[in-house]
Homo-oligomer: A and B are copies of this chain.
């Protein structure tokens, strides 16, 4: 097992000084070194927790979660991350259909941030809104700090927006790093990010977009597969292409699930709504046209039905590399014969991968804590050195 010195040495090799006092909003805004710093700090925090060493860097302070819809998993991951560092969580639940504008955002941002060291925002429902909201929030709290309203600048962590889902995809990637024994071993591995059938509607685009935007950084062969009509934001495809070029990997698209699965090392079959439909929905919400939304939902469910054959079956899994690709999902999945009649994945496939899937999810609290820590602590290597040399026990024993 790796000791604390391993992690400290690793950190010293990386240049991540720009993360200090900065937000984490999109993975493609970060350098490769910065991404590796997130993984290294996450691993260190997990290691120290296993060793019963406290990693509280705050004696008091608040972590604010601001969700536009309910989310048990993300909420618990964020709460766990905050608690690990010594922050108490306060939840702000804004109405689902309420899209805040300009000055209202400025007021909310200041009013809830008096003692906030971090604000985690999940706003994934409206195309063109969520990411903007996070950036505005960040701008306004920085201004609040300059104006002497806030004693500290709260770090913004994107807990899922309309564009990216960095805490999910970074946890996914850390899972891959451990699964394949090192980040360098990911080079040349084929990952299939494919659409899959779901009996439900309107799942966000942030996961497929985030996955192709991140995995192409690692020199992987990234394939995006979906039926015609299920296009994602084209900007992100452009980013993925550029990433692939720079990292020595590839980014390809196909309308065949079979093609994507063929010889894949990793498969990530997951439903999402077409980008144009999400845009349309955002428009309808803006107009308060609930009848239009109902009709759109019916249309989309019918459209989904046309592609009911897009399921991750045993047959498809058999066509992957040695029939043993790593199956991934951000959870919860639509599992055939378990959570629905027909869904994204066959029950037998899902059950076989349950343990690695939960392990995948278990990285998220550490990833979030790492993002916070790197924004708050100038020299994490020094921090870990001190914390481990004169450790406080997390739990009395």
Contact = CB atoms under 8 A, between A and B. Distances in A.
Given A61-B395, A393-B59, A397-B377, A112 B358 contact: no
Interface residues on A, range: 35 or more
A76 B115 CA distance: 9
Nearest to A79: B90
Contact of A107 (B56, B62, B90, B332): B332
A381 interface: no
B115 A365 contact: yes
Interface of A: 46, 49-50, 54-62, 72-73, 75-77, 79-80, 83-86, 88-90, 92, 103-104, 106-108, 110-112, 114-115, 117, 144, 147-152, 331-332, 338-339, 351, 354-355, 358-359, 361-362, 364-365, 376-378, 383, 392-397
B358 A396 contact: no
Contacts of A332: 107
A83 B108 CA distance: 20
Nearest to A150: B362
The 4 closest A-B pairs by CB, nearest first: A80-B115, A57-B396, A54-B59, A149-B358
B331 A111 contact: yes
A54 B107 CA distance: 27
Contacts of A377: 396-397
B362 A59 contact: no
A135 to B, nearest CB: 19
A54 B57 CA distance: 12
B147 A83 contact: no
Contact of A59 (B61, B103, B354, B394): B394
Nearest to A392: B59
A352 to B, nearest CB: 13
Given A54-B59, A111-B361, A365-B115, A49 B92 contact: no
